[in-house]
Amino acid sequence: VHTVVVADFDPTSIHLTAQSVNGVPGFILRGVVGVTHHIEYTDSLANPTWLPAGALKLESAQQTWIDTSSGGKPTRFFRVLLP
Determine if residue 82 is left, alpha or beta; phi over 0 gives left, psi from -120 to 50 gives alpha, anything else beta.
beta
Nearest to 42 by CA among 10, 9, 69, 82: 69
Tens of pLDDT, residue by residue over 35-64, are: 888 999 999 999 899 999 999 999 998 999
Distance CA 77, CA 48 (A): 9
Average pLDDT over residues 13-25: 80
pLDDT above 70: percentage of residues in the chain: 84
What's the pTM value of the predicted model, to 2 decimals?
A: 0.76
Q: Does the pLDDT of residue 1 top 50, yes or no?
A: no
Any residues with CB less than 8 A from the CB of 69 and at least 6 apart, and which?
53
